[in-house]
């Protein structure tokens, strides 16, 4: 399917690997010129080179921490007029609700709620002026069903979801569609580090921890970052113009819910 976005300009945050990279690859395949970001310079530069070579689009890497004002300023300067925004950042660490301090909450809310809000505040007004835009926020299945050890993530991402629910309806009349994708467990470094948390806590091997977590998913597998990226690219397509303020759960059926 032609997504109708060849020649558009996109910004994908936290994209040197994992889900962000999956989104960058799929948008590049659809012909979108990209600015991509993550903190480790050598990795983001190499990722940009590979994506540009594979898909024949222009890809500009920016090494910066997207959760800081200074990092966002540098990313936004490189991005300029952007038609497509994918917000993403590393997730908060697991832990116990009894231990989290105010500073822990502020850090998580800054990283997984307010940095996405700030990026939308910076870029969506320009999209509205030009009459076209797409925003996809990478959140988590924890928005629909809390994950006990990830209370910091549950809290911050639910806040972002509430913000998007309201603002997406205010910008849709200007041709801008804002939606969220909620990943269940995908085969990325983040999944390995959470496997490791389970293996350490239960005194089992990494392999056993993965099998245990896979068994909670009806497909019996972890999700593929490339498939995740394809869903993101569709939400950024022309054909997604009637999809507004939605939360697309990609979890292999893991959440046992009717809607």
Asked if 54 and 79 touch (Cβ cutoff 8 Å), the reply is no
State the number of binding residues for ligand NAP (CB under 6 A).
28
Q: Which C-beta is closer to ligand NAP: that of 68 or that of 246?
A: 68
Site for ligand NAP contains 14 (CB under 6 A) = yes
Q: How far is the CB of 68 from ligand NAP (least distance, A)?
A: 8
Q: Which C-beta is closer to ligand NAP: that of 3 or that of 64?
A: 64
Q: Which C-beta is closer to ligand NAP: that of 143 or that of 171?
A: 143
Give the dihedral sign, CA 15/16/22/27.
positive
Q: Which C-beta is closer to ligand NAP: that of 107 or that of 241?
A: 107
- Which range touches ligand NAP (CB under 6 A), out of 53-61, 79-87, 124-132, 188-196? 188-196
With CB under 6 A as the contact rule, the residue among 3, 28, 34, 66 that binds ligand NAP is 66
Q: How far is the CB of 47 from ligand NAP (least distance, A)?
A: 8
Q: Which of residues 194-253 bind ligand NAP (CB under 6 A)?
A: none
With CB under 6 A as the contact rule, the residue among 18, 61, 159, 229 that binds ligand NAP is 18
Q: How far is the CB of 78 from ligand NAP (least distance, A)?
A: 13
Q: Which C-beta is closer to ligand NAP: that of 110 or that of 125?
A: 110
- Sequence-ordered list of residues with C-beta below 8 angstroms from that of 79, at least 6 positions apart, any chain: 9, 11, 35, 123
Secondary structure, 3-state, 83-152: CEEEECCCCCCCCCCCCCCHHHHHHHHHHHHHHHHHHHHHHHHHHHHHCCEEEEEECCHHHCCCCHHHHH
- Which range touches ligand NAP (CB under 6 A), out of 3-11, 49-57, 65-73, 173-181? 65-73
Site for ligand NAP contains 185 (CB under 6 A) = yes
Q: How far is the CB of 150 from ligand NAP (least distance, A)?
A: 8
Site for ligand NAP contains 161 (CB under 6 A) = no
Residues that bind ligand NAP (CB under 6 A): 14-20, 37-40, 43, 65-67, 88-91, 138, 140, 183, 185-186, 188-191
């Amino acid at each position: 399917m032609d997504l109708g976005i060849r020649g558009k300009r996109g910004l994908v945050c936290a994209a040197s690997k994992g889900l962000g990279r999956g989104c960058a690859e799929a948008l590049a395949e659809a012909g979108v010129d990209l600015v991509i970001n993550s903190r480790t310079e050598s990795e983001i530069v190499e990722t940009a080179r590979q994506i540009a070579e594979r898909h024949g689009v222009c890809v500009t890497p920016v090494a910066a921490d997207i959760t800081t004002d200074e990092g966002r300023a540098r990313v936004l300067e490189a991005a300029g007029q952007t038609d497509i925004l994918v917000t993403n950042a590393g997730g908060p660490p697991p832990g116990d609700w009894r231990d989290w301090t105010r500073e822990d909450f502020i850090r998580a809310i800054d990283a997984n709620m307010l940095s996405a809000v700030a990026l939308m505040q910076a870029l969506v007004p320009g999209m509205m002026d030009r009459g076209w835009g797409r925003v996809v926020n990478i959140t988590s299945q924890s928005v629909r069903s809390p994950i006990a050890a990830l209370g910091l993530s549950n809290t911050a991402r639910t806040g972002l979801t509430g913000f998007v629910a309201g603002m997406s309806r205010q910008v849709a009349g200007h041709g801008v569609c804002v939606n969220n994708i909620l990943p269940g467990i995908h085969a990325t470094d983040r999944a390995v580090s959470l496997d490791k948390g389970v293996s350490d806590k239960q005194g089992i091997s990494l392999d056993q921890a993965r099998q245990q977590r896979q068994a909670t998913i009806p497909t019996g597998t972890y999700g593929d970052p490339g498939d995740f990226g394809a869903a993101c690219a569709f939400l950024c397509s022309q054909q997604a113009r009637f999809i507004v303020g939605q939360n697309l759960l990609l979890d292999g059926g893991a959440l046992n819910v009717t809607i």
